[in-house]
Amino acid sequence: MKQFQSEFLQEVLRKIARRYEQRGQLKGVMKITTSIKHEQLQILHNFFGITPIRINNKDEVRLHFNFALENSPESEWIEKISSHLGYALQPAVQQDQSLAITTLITRLKLAFPDFEIITENVSTSHDILKRMFKNETEQKVTTTCFQAVETLRFLLKNKTPITISELGARFFSNSKLLRQGEIRHLLLRWLNAYCPDLDHTENEDQVWATYHVYHDRLTVNAVIFGPIVYTKSGKKFDWILKLHEQGEAATISWANLQDIEKIEWEGPSSRPPNLICCENEAPFSQLIRQKANDCIFFTSGFPGSAVCKTYELLAPQMASCSHWGDTDPNGLYIASILHSIYPLQLFRCDIETLRQHEQHLLPLSKKQVQRAEFILKNKPHFPFRNELAYTLDNGWLEQENWRQNTPPSFPPSRE
């Protein structure tokens, strides 16, 4: 029995030694075993103390180094473990990270010549890569980065909602990998590199949503107010119309949008309604009160998958399409996203409105100035250049600062 007990402790200590040789320190939490016997648990308690040894709800026995280090410093634990094993623990050999990073960048350039933006961005991502090389082998980091580029390739073409867990499982065989950690930050940095004119970095969820990645697919929806019906599987659905008749907006989920054959307007008028897309919530509610006979469509900031799909189906059926939003670079870029799906005009945020609201314009931040300059320089076909140039010179108009100086007019109907 004593020999058995000694072998169990020796195996646990050898696992700790291997961990120390890889990481160079005793840190974090280490899984020891599962379904432990009472006498084995007693051995661990005798060696490490009771507090550092924890058993979770999966019956996994884990060693918490931070609790162990509360009683004795790391040096004493290293000496104690070495004494029981009969050899000195060797800390991890620090590899030349600069050489490893240079090698990785070279391999990425050779493997992905069409991703020059990314290989250039990797060169400025040494902070992330250094942390990755510190915790993983060079081969593991290289493999992970190659998988990340393939993930990026997919996202740049993706138009269908996918959850962050599904993305991790598909490309890394690990549904939890992209929820946090260095590879998540690296991939976010790469996604930003492909859209440098937008200030995504302030909101990680917005970055993912731009590429149709969500934490929960149930949150992928669009909000609309209007006299419309849709046909699906040969059956007409009029619940959006009925809510409109009650003065209420409707929330359309991604599941609702699947396999819709046609969206149409239906109401007492012989003329189709106008469609007004609205960036922010308060002005959206305001429009519902003011334009009850038209379709009011809430983009909720940057248009997500459901918003884009609904607009694609709805816009061709309308008398006219317009957009009301902020005139900062992000606001005008939101309008351009919808415009690229189906042409629209600006409403209450066009160049004439900006000139009438000079006293209400807000100064641009340094980041906003940089984004505006980037768009004007690098996107010659940006549809709202006049408004953006005026904003750059004079400031931007927030939706809530709009004043009804003159009655608004709609673009001419397509008849």
273 and 194 inside one domain:
no
- Asked, for residue 411, whether it belongs to a domain, the answer is no
Q: How far apart are alpha carbons 141 and 89 in whole angstroms?
A: 25
Q: Which domain holds residue 60?
A: 2-85
- The reply to whether 198 falls in a domain is yes
Largest CA distance in the chain: 93
Q: How many CB atoms lie within 10 A of CB 200?
A: 22
| Residue 210 resides in a domain | yes
Please tell me whether residues 49 and 149 are part of one structural domain: no
For position 405, what pLDDT does the model report?
Answer: 60
Give the chain's domain count.
3
CB 335 within 8 A of CB 385: no
**CA atoms of 177 and 167, how far apart (whole Å):** 9
Instruction: Cite the beta strand spans of 254-294 per DSSP E.
Output: 260-265, 275-278
Q: How far apart are CA 180 and CA 154, in angstroms?
A: 20
Q: Provide, rounded to the nearest whole percent, the portion of the chain with pLDDT above 70.
A: 91
Q: Which residues have a Cβ under 8 Å from the Cβ of 144 and sit 6 or more positions away?
A: 132, 136, 172, 183
113 falls within a domain: yes
* C-alpha to C-alpha distances, 346 to 228, 277, 309, 321, 349, nearest whole angstrom: 23, 9, 20, 9, 6
Residue 378 sits in the same domain as residue 336: yes
Tell me, yes or no, whether 373 and 246 share the same domain: yes
Query: Could you give the C-alpha distances from 66 to 27, 73, 134, 174, 185, in angstroms and in order?
Result: 7, 10, 20, 27, 26
Assess whether pLDDT exceeds 50 at residue 406: no
Q: Are residues 80 and 163 in the same domain?
A: no
Look at residue 112 and tell me if it is in a domain: yes
| Same domain, yes or no: 101 and 188 | yes
Percent of the chain with pLDDT over 90: 39
pLDDT average, residue stretch 46-56:
89
Q: Is the pLDDT of residue 54 over 80?
A: yes
- The region of weakest confidence among 15-29, 191-205, 272-286, 355-369 is 191-205
> Are residue 210 and residue 143 in the same domain, yes or no?
yes
Is 406 within a domain? no
Span 195-206, mean pLDDT? 64
Angle at 61 between CA 58 and CA 65, to 5 degrees: 130
Of the three residues 195, 214, 233, the one that is the final residue of a domain is 214
Amino acid occupying residue 117: I
Task: Return d(Cα 414, Cα 373) in angstroms, integer.
Answer: 34
Q: Which of 214, 236, 267 is the last residue of a domain?
A: 214
234 shares its domain with 348 = yes
- Looking at per-residue confidence, does 269 or 338 come out higher? 338
User: Are 327 and 257 in a shared domain?
Assistant: yes
Tell me: do 64 and 165 sit in the same domain: no
Per-residue pLDDT band for 276 (boundaries 50, 70, 90) equals very high
CA distance 302 to 343: 17
The predicted pLDDT at position 123 comes to 59
Look at residue 182 in the predicted model and tell me its pLDDT.
87
Domain shared by 267 and 395, yes or no:
yes
pLDDT in tens, 76-134: 898 898 888 888 887 655 556 778 888 888 888 888 888 877 766 665 667 788 788 77
- φ, ψ for residue 49, nearest 5 deg: 95, 170
**182 in the same domain as 155:** yes
pLDDT-derived band at 1, boundaries 50, 70, 90: very low
| CATH code at position 378 | 3.40.1360.10
Summarize pLDDT for 136-167 with one digit per residue, the tens. Answer: 778 888 899 999 999 999 998 888 889 999 99
| Listed residues 85, 117, 152: the one ending a domain | 85
Helix then strand then coil, in percent of the chain rounded to 5, is: 55, 15, 30
Q: Give pLDDT, residue 40.
A: 87
Per-residue model confidence (pLDDT) at position 414: 45
Q: What is the pLDDT of residue 410?
A: 47
Asked, for residue 35, whether it belongs to a domain, the answer is: yes
